[in-house]
Structure 1
Amino acid sequence: MNTPIQVGPPQLFLFLIAVIGIALLISSLMGLMSGQREMELFEDEDGRQYKRWRKHRRRFRWKRGTGGVLMLILALFLLWLTFSIQSYLGLTNDVKVAQVHAQTFENDPQHMSVSLTTLDNNGKPIASKVYSMNGDRWQLECTMVKFPSWMNIFGIHSSYKLTRLEGTYSDPNLESTSKHTVVTLNGGDGDFFKTVYKQAWTSPFVDAAYGNAVFQPADSQTYDVYVSQTGLYAKPAGK
């Protein structure tokens, strides 16, 4: 599984705001609580007197805690703002994971040549291969592990793994009766995904685990394939 970590000036700035918000939150909560100290005079059996500070139980200072309440509101606002902006950045900062070019053969429109180039998290090519496949449209599949939105503050993108390239047919009749070509990528789903999928509904660190796919016709165009926080999508290269 690939888990892109999106770290840059926006994430560092938001992390700093979050730290300030947490510090203000702790300070405001401490400010709303007071531990009063009073000087008390004691006398021992020999008549000697001595003084000692006695600390009373903490109690809420609602009348004197206006500043603390305002700091608390400010802290919560900063934390809410941080998570909201980071969630937006996470949803809009997609990762380019592959490039696909497919075209059918002139004398056989139900067979195609598919060129697949897989990319790393930085957009650099990892591997490139051409496949001869049945069908007139290609389908690229992946497995996804989606994390809770609160983890966006750390710039953690949803995990993904490209698992399968398949040739399909635009004609439903051919789709149901013709032979399909399937190429396994990166070892398929693997045991890791199967384990995470079973535990996704009970883990506080996994929001969902599921399969996802994108397909396009073999129209001789080159498509860039991106992974978002929720799954794959493709668009013509250069757009």
Structure 2
Amino acid sequence: MIEGVAPSVWIAVVTIAALLIGFGLFLGRGGPRDARGRRQFRLRPMRRLVGLLLLALACVSAMFAVTLYQFFRLTADEPVARIVLRQQAPRQFVATAELPGKAPEDYTLRGDEWQIDARMVRWRLPALLAGVPPLYRLERLSGRYTDPAADQSEPRTVYALGPAGMPDLGALKQRFPGWLPFVDVQYGSGAYMPMFDGARYRVFVDPRGALFIRPEDAATQDALKQRGW
């Protein structure tokens, strides 16, 4: 693996190669030349079939590359989000979230704590031995209650953070299991922390594929200690 080249780039290269070869085999004339040197069209079933299979492979690879492009490469403990909280009412807060590649956005959360979830892409052998880094994609931001009974009876707030309308790796793997032998996407990670007015947090992902949260400033850290965190 060449350092700094994302897996989606390699998949895109394979997709383009399969697309060009597939079109050449499926649409090419492939027959003998006439007196003017032009190839004559002949129906060659095996040639057309191989071209059609390559075109199908290119379509599946393109879907995989687009889906994988949604994910971010992970090579070290990496800050992936910043959350600032403002209290509006009892158990109601406005969370200003700064996420990679997006402008800051406000989310109204209800509860005692906030939670963020991510989908992780962990590679299997031999991709793991080749040094392919894990990937992540932030998926949800939600409010939660300390008491499980309150979680069942009080209003819940959940927001999608990932891009909508795009193919999901899990769905692609279930539909085309033979094409994705080195990808393990059945893995999620989440972390939560208390909500209080003025709290500031940083969300990180470590290379092993786990989300964790740290207070961003001393005031938040002191407030967490007072609350037993």
Runs of 4+ in 1 over 6 A off after TM superposition: 199-202
Paired with 1:175 and 1:147, the residues of 2 have a C-alpha distance of: 35
> Who wins on radius of gyration, i.e. which is larger?
1
Paired with 1:226 and 1:149, the residues of 2 have a C-alpha distance of: 26
Corresponding residue of 2:85: 102
Corresponding residue of 1:66: none
SS of equivalent to 1:127: coil
Paired with 2:160 and 2:104, the residues of 1 have a C-alpha distance of: 14
Residues 112 and 145 in structure 2, CA contact (< 8 A), matched pair in contact too: yes
> How high is the TM-score relative to the length of structure 2?
0.53
Letter in 1 for 2:124: P
After superposition, the Cα gap between the structure-2 partners of 1:194 and 1:103, relative to the gap in structure 1 and judged at 3 Å, is: same
Corresponding residue of 1:67: none
Larger displacement relative to structure 2 (149-158 or 216-225) = 149-158
Unaligned runs of 5+ residues in structure 2 are 5-72, 219-229
Paired with 2:165 and 2:113, the residues of 1 have a C-alpha distance of: 22
Q: How does 1:19-34 map to 2 (within 5 A)?
A: none
Q: How does 1:1-239 map to 2 (within 5 A)?
A: 7=4, 93-105=76-88, 108-120=89-101, 126-148=102-124, 150-151=126-127, 155-187=131-163, 190-196=166-172, 198=174, 203-219=180-196, 220-228=198-206, 229-237=208-216
The C-alpha deviation readout for 1:107-131, integer Å capped at 9, x for no partner, is x3211111100025xxxxx321112
Corresponding residue of 1:64: none
Corresponding residue of 1:34: none
Paired with 2:147 and 2:108, the residues of 1 have a C-alpha distance of: 19
SS of equivalent to 2:120: strand
How many residue pairs align between the two structures?
Answer: 147
Higher-strand-fraction structure: 1
Letter in 1 for 2:216: A
Quote the offset at 1:184 in angstroms: 1.5
Paired with 1:167 and 1:93, the residues of 2 have a C-alpha distance of: 28
The C-alpha deviation readout for 1:5-51, integer Å capped at 9, x for no partner, is 974xxxxxxxxxxxxxxxxxxxxxxxxxxxxxxxxxxxxxxxxxxxx
Residues 169 and 185 in structure 2, CA contact (< 8 A), matched pair in contact too: no
Residues 164 and 188 in structure 1, CA contact (< 8 A), matched pair in contact too: no
> How high is the TM-score relative to the length of structure 1?
0.51
Letter in 1 for 2:204: Y
Larger displacement relative to structure 2 (206-215 or 174-183) = 206-215
